[in-house]
Structure 1
Amino acid sequence: MTSRDDELYSDIGRILFESAPEDAQMIFLDAELSPEDDHAKLLYDYINKKNEKTWFLPGSPETDSLLLKKLVELRCFYIEQGLTGGRPVWHGCLVTVDLENMKINLDYRYD
Structure 2
Amino acid sequence: TILSETDSFFRKRKIHIIQCDELVHSDITVTGDTDIDILINNFELAGGGNTDFRPAFEYVNNLIDTGEIKKLQGLLYFTDGKGKYPKKKMPYNTAFVFIDKLSETAVPAWAMKVSLE
Q: TM-score, normalised by structure 2?
A: 0.24
Larger RCO, structures 1/2 (Cα 8 Å, 6+ apart): 1
Structure (1/2) with the larger helix percentage: 1
Q: TM-score, normalised by structure 1?
A: 0.24
